Amino acid sequence: MSYDRRGGGREYGGGNGGRDRGGFDRGGKGGYDRGGGFDGGGGGSVMPTDYQGSARGERRGGGGGKGKGGREMEICDAVERGLVATMKDNFGFIKCEDRPEELFFHFSDVRDRDGVRPGDSVEFRVGRSRGKVNAVEITMLPRGTVVLEELLEGPFQGVVKLPAMQPRKGQSASQESQGMIEVSNEESGATETVSYRNSDCQERRGFRKGDDVEFAIMLDKRSGRKSAIKIKMGKPTGANREQGIVQTVKDSFGFLECADRSARLFFHFSEMMDRNTGVRPGDEVEFTCAVDERKKQENATKIVFLPAGTVFFEVRICRPYTNAPTHSSTPPNPQ
């Protein structure tokens, strides 16, 4: 990898070492940390003196203003590719094929800047100035040319091992804490963990430790890292499932009459797996009994509706029963 040293004159505006000639949005090239400032003065060939270079830059490229021209930039000869990850008012970031970090770019470095948007495929060179690395000389590629991730639809089933924390107000997606889901391979019996964020959950309340979930997997082809997306509550499994009938319903909670235990069980509406169906007394349900660590009491969790007539509280014993009189083989003695 080699770098070409370039001044601020011919391509990046403000001349060769121009003093405060860049300008902000004054036309021509410029860009981040280069001669000409942000979108600063372009044009202008390299002249023998700073004054001449800056003057030429002003005359041809609209220099002048607050930018700091004349800073030397090293530009790598190699061409790299990536995807536009995010965009702001006049700059953005590129997710690269060959490097883990995202690169800053300014719109003035995009050769065809009309219609550039997140997800676009681009190729670019890397420029270095004052220790900062940026994407420069950016060319648009047909959309879909660069593929950094592969979607594995599944659906996959797993159990939440580490819940992700709810994001704080004003926190971006990249700053969210990550949770972990354990996935079992039915064929090999091996388990692996994949990360997830609350922004990828389809449940508003998020998930708790032990929740059964269904999801798709996004595979990062650069690092091989997997993350869960499109996450929703899965159908609970396990040998400790019980059955019962909804006995009473209050504002946001109720009690179940259980088929296999004498005591009633408290439940909260947030434990209903089907949020679109209202809960009514008499509904037959299946659930898991779990201990509330804070209140130290057993509650019904992961509740799903059952068809009517599924739950029985009495066991019918089917066996032959006779009450016929006993006949003696001895004939009666006539009188």
State the maximum Cα–Cα separation within the chain, in Å, rounded to a whole number: 155
Of residues 124 and 55, more confidence is placed in 124
Whole-number mean pLDDT of the chain? 75
* Cα dihedral: 75, 77, 82, 85 (round 10): 0
Residue 94: its pLDDT value, please? 93
| Bond prior to 167 in cis (omega within 30° of 0) | no
Of residues 155 and 124, more confidence is placed in 124
Residue 28: its pLDDT value, please? 43
| CB of 101 closer than 8 Å to CB of 126 | no
Predicted confidence (pLDDT) per residue in 49-82, tens digit: 333 333 333 333 444 443 444 457 888 889 999 9
Residue 131: its pLDDT value, please? 84
Residue 57: its pLDDT value, please? 37
Residue 167: its pLDDT value, please? 66
CA distance 4 to 73: 8
Contacts of 132 (CB under 8 A, 6+ apart): 32, 33, 104
Secondary structure string (H, E, C) spanning the chain: CCEEEECCCCCCCCCCCCCCCCCCCCCCCCCCCCCCCCCCCCCCCCCCCHHHHHHHHHHHHCCCCCCCCCCCEEEECCCEEEEEEEECCCEEEEEECCCCCCEEEEHHHECCCCCCCCCCEEEEEEEEECCEEEEEEEEECCCCCCCCEEEEEEEEEEEEEECCCCCCCCCCHHHCCCEEEEEECCCCCCEEEEEECHHHECCCCCCCCCCEEEEEEEEECCCCCEEEEEEEECCCCCCCEEEEEEEEECCCEEEEEECCCCCCEEEEHHHECCCCCCCCCCCEEEEEEEEECCCCEEEEEEEEECCCCCCCCCCCCCCCCCCCCCCCCCCCCCC
